[in-house]
Amino acid sequence: MDFTLSKEHEMARALFKEFAEKEVKPLAQEVDETEVFPRETVEKMAKLGFLGIPVPKEYGGQGCDPLTYAMCVEELSKVCGTTGVIVSAHTSLCCDPIMTYGTEEQKQKYLVPLAKGEKLGAFGLTEPGAGTDAQGQQTKAVLDGEEWVLNGSKCFITNGKEADVYVIFAITGTVEKRGRLQKEISAFIVEKGTPGFTFGTKEKKMGIRGSSTYELIFTDCRIPKENLLGQQGKGFNIAMHTLDGGRIGIASQALGLAEGALETTIEYVKERKQFGRAIGAFQNTQFQLADMATKVEAAQLLVYKAAMAKATQKVYSVEAAKAKLYAAEVAMEVTTKAVQLHGGYGYIREYDVERMMRDAKITEIYEGTSEVQRMVISGALLK
């Protein structure tokens, strides 16, 4: 077992870090404060291929492995949780299902511009009545001649109003499963601007405030028949498999937030003086930092292990769930401690740890709450 990263990965990390420090960090406070989507940053990332890292080159991507992608989200999130989730939602939740389930035509039409960053992607599964319980879907798609007609709404959609291409789930019928009638769910690719596809309220959030979170509304929205993604009725599997990958992205985001808070705090305690000495000289501070650093590294190992599993295994649900569960909880714990070690300054918006703590909370909630991750992990244990 070798825990050293390859030279390529080290250099890729240096690239992401440099970009994050130079291009993303200076805007992080403003993005949070104004709740404005960092469009220019996204355009810069597009130019550098950051929006298609794990997509093969023949589809306009960078042809890198999931670990490289995870490191990108990690480094971006170290300085700005908003930017991290933009890349994660786009890549894991939109590029990935099209890459995995799309037809060649769909890949050429949608994946290529997505991977090149000419278009931004989003994923619509959650509904007001169907969050953790994906079976609670209400959105319907009915085939009418050569078109599917969508009706319903999706909520809390990341990259909501900013995306161009959406992977949307809807009920296409019912099937009998073990003697019970169950909803048959299918996945669709919907383009922005399709008549009948509109946006509802913009959510005002606690954290990741620059990410565009919207309600999507479909009212007799007609999309071409060929925009069905994967087989009809396989939507639930597509959603779950996509979320396995998405969780690695969110785990990377959580990891980055924890690392960012830890690094910021280490700098701070070396400089901040109380009772005539740097607070880093107090044993309480030292022990807190030791615990934080240990947990952050454990989280990193789980996240990287999950990313490697995605590269080499067909199924990696448990690895992804463990990585997300642990990294999210570590992010919350470490950012909270970081605020505490900053004292009064930690509660002030000018100091980054305040924002990091707010950003961290969502990682325990979206793309499967920590409770859902525990269900996935324990389900595999008791199978």
Partner 1 sequence: MKIVVCIKQVPDTKGGVKFNPDGTLDRGAMLTIMNPDDKAGLEAALRLKDQYGAEVTVVTMGLPKAEEVLREAMAMGADKGVLVTDRVLGGADTWATSTTLAGAIRNLEYDLIITGRQAIDGDTAQVGPQISEHLDIPVISYAQNIKIEGDSVVVERQYEDRYHVVKAKMPCLITALSELNEPRYMTPGGIFDAYKQEITVWGRADLKDVDDANLGLKGSPTKIAKASDKVRKGAGEKVTLDPDESVSYIVDKLKVKHVI
Partner 2 sequence: MNLEEYKGVYVFAQQVDNEISSIAFELLGKAKDLAKDLSTDVTAVLIGSGIKGLADQLAEYGADKVIVVDDPELKDYRTEPYAHALASVINQYKPEIMLVGATAIGRDLGPRVSARVATGLTADCTVLEIGDFPLQAVPGQEQLHNQLLMTRPAFGGNTIATIACPYNRPQMATVRAGVMQKITPIKGAKAVVEEFNPGFTPDNKYVEILDIVKSVAETVDIMDAKILVSGGRGVGSPENFKILEDLAEVLGGTVSCSRAVVDSGWKPKDLQVGQTGKTVRPNVYFAIGISGAIQHVAGMEESDIIVAINKDADAPIFDVADYGVVGDLNKIVPKLTEALKAEIAAAK
Among 105, 271, 381, 383, binds partner 2 (CB under 8 A): 271
> Rule CB under 8 A: is residue 275 a binding residue for partner 2?
no
Using the minimum distance from each CB to partner 2, give the nearer residue, 2 or 271: 271
Region of 285 (left: φ > 0; alpha: ψ -120 to 50; beta: rest) is alpha
Residues 6+ apart with CB under 8 A from 255: 74, 77, 296, 299, 300, 303, 327, 330, 331
272 binds, among partner 1, partner 2, none (CB under 5 to 8 A by kind): partner 2
Cβ atoms 289, 270 nearer than 8 A: no
Using the minimum distance from each CB to partner 1, give the nearer residue, 8 or 371: 8
316 binds, among partner 2, partner 1, none (CB under 5 to 8 A by kind): none
Helix ranges, 152-282 (H): 235-271
Q: Residue 367: CA atoms inside 13 Å, Cβ hemisphere, count?
A: 32
Among 272, 293, 369, 370, binds partner 2 (CB under 8 A): 272
Among 177, 225, 273, 349, binds partner 2 (CB under 8 A): 273
The piece of 79-87, 110-118, 267-275, 372-380 that touches partner 2 (CB under 8 A) is 267-275
Please provide the size of the chain in residues.
383
Residue 211's identity, in one-letter code, is: S
350 binds, among partner 2, partner 1, none (CB under 5 to 8 A by kind): partner 2
Residues 6+ apart with CB under 8 A from 329: 364, 370
The piece of 97-105, 125-133, 145-153, 265-273 that touches partner 2 (CB under 8 A) is 265-273
Q: Which of 18, 350, 367, 371 is catalytic?
A: 367
The piece of 49-57, 65-73, 269-277, 291-299 that touches partner 2 (CB under 8 A) is 269-277
**How far apart are the C-alpha atoms of 239 and 147, rounded to whole Å?**
22
Tokens 């492995």, located at residue: 65
> Rule CB under 8 A: is residue 25 a binding residue for partner 2?
no
Q: Residue 367 catalytic?
A: yes
Residues with catalytic function:
367
